[in-house]
Amino acid sequence: MEAVLTGLRAAAEPTRLRLLSLLAQGDLTVSELTHILGQSQPRVSRHLKLMCEAGLLDRFPEGAWVFYRVAAKGVGAEMARALLPLLPAGDPQVALDLQRLEGVRAARAARAQDYFTANAERWDEMRSLHVDDREVEKALLAAVAGRTIHDLVDMGTGTGRVMEVLAPYIERGIGVDLSREMLAVARANLERASLRHCMVRQGDITQLPLPAASADAVTIHQVLHYAADPAAVVAEAARVLRPGGLLMIVDFAPHQLEALRDEHAHRRLGFADAEVAGWLRAAGLEPGPITRLPGRQLTVVLWTAIRTPQVSKTMPEKMTSTGAQA
């Protein structure tokens, strides 16, 4: 009862209702909200703090920035979802807020495009070495066919493309990446595609900011060859998978293109099936089907695995002197 009352009190104020309406559209920072609302940063920050404490909003630090969003789970999240449809769609203040939000998104998209353009030559060079990305995406879609995926985690999300591809087949998606520049690209791409059920977060993929057994599927797309310890990345993926959950790893088969170490910072020149299978089994995963996609100079491989159920270790039942179970 107290949690409900706290949530109602936290929402029962004009500016907070405006914040709720805006943050239902996606992630926003304090400075962006200040620009949209036309209010001082200390005032907006106080409202956000109160709403977070009431469970209506989630807060995600990202370097020197902090992003806010309507809460995903809990009593506060349920209350927010119940209140949002009650906000009048034709309210002039809400309409103005949404108009200004589009301006903020346009500015974000422009910054993301600048970064993408500056690095496009490097990415195009990599694409020229392997199979068309559309073939990889088809393989990912085939791997999830027929599965129920409530929560997807995309480790090292980059541009967010994997979440875009799998978005129609999931209820929620979280992309994790350490690079703020790449997160800006991914966030802009997801907003452009109106994928509000997908979000990105800054974090180390060897220490995901997520609880254990919180995902039905995890993707690691073209990330392991950069990792100092690929086995640790696989183990962290296994940690967040629920029993029966699916892991999909996309990377290169072994190759001899040494230039990729110097020009593209690749630590590893591909992976053998046996090596990947060893990491999977060590992490409590059962290796599944493997898909190979030969390219111009590089072969892309999709390795799959299932999180095996935890087997509880119990003591044998006590036996009587005659050998029958007590």
297 vs 163, more confident: 163
Q: Is 107 contained in some domain? A: no
What share of the chain has pLDDT > 90, as a percent?
65
84 and 136 fall within a common domain: no
- Alpha carbon distance 217, 165 (integer Å): 14
The predicted-structure confidence for 248-274, as pLDDT tens digits, reads as follows: 999 999 998 888 887 778 888 999 999
Q: Is 287 contained in some domain? A: yes
Q: Is 318 contained in some domain? A: no
- Alpha carbon distance 24, 21 (integer Å): 5
Is residue 70 within 8 Å of residue 23, measured between CB atoms? yes
| pLDDT the model gives residue 124 | 63
- Alpha carbon distance 2, 251 (integer Å): 50
What is the tally of structural domains in the chain?
Answer: 2
| pLDDT the model gives residue 305 | 98
State the amino acid at position 85 in one-letter form. P
Confidence category of residue 192, pLDDT binned at 50, 70, 90: very high
- Alpha carbon distance 13, 271 (integer Å): 56
Q: Is 315 contained in some domain? A: no
CATH number for the domain harbouring residue 77: 1.10.10.10
88 and 147 fall within a common domain: no
Q: Is 168 contained in some domain? A: yes
Q: Is 109 contained in some domain? A: no
184 vs 89, more confident: 184
93 and 164 fall within a common domain: no
92 and 21 fall within a common domain: yes
pLDDT higher than 90, residue 216: yes
Q: Is 114 contained in some domain? A: no
90 and 184 fall within a common domain: no
87 and 227 fall within a common domain: no
97 and 158 fall within a common domain: no
65 and 140 fall within a common domain: no
The predicted-structure confidence for 63-116, as pLDDT tens digits, reads as follows: 778 899 999 888 888 999 899 998 887 889 999 999 999 999 888 888 767 766
- Alpha carbon distance 257, 246 (integer Å): 31
139 and 267 fall within a common domain: yes
90 and 169 fall within a common domain: no
Q: Is 323 contained in some domain? A: no
| pLDDT the model gives residue 120 | 61
72 and 37 fall within a common domain: yes
7 vs 86, more confident: 86
Q: How far is CA 281 from CA 114, 134, 234, 266, in A?
A: 42, 29, 10, 25
pLDDT higher than 60, residue 316: no
Which residues contact residue 48 at a Cβ distance below 8 angstroms, ignoring those fewer than 6 apart?
19, 30, 33, 57, 59, 68
pLDDT higher than 80, residue 131: yes
Strand order through the sheet with 65-70: 28-29, 65-70, 57-62
pTM over 0.85: no
Question: What mean pLDDT is predicted for residues 19-31?
Answer: 92
Domain that holds residue 274: 129-307
Confidence category of residue 123, pLDDT binned at 50, 70, 90: low
278 and 162 fall within a common domain: yes
Confidence category of residue 318, pLDDT binned at 50, 70, 90: very low
| pLDDT the model gives residue 10 | 86
CATH number for the domain harbouring residue 244: 3.40.50.150
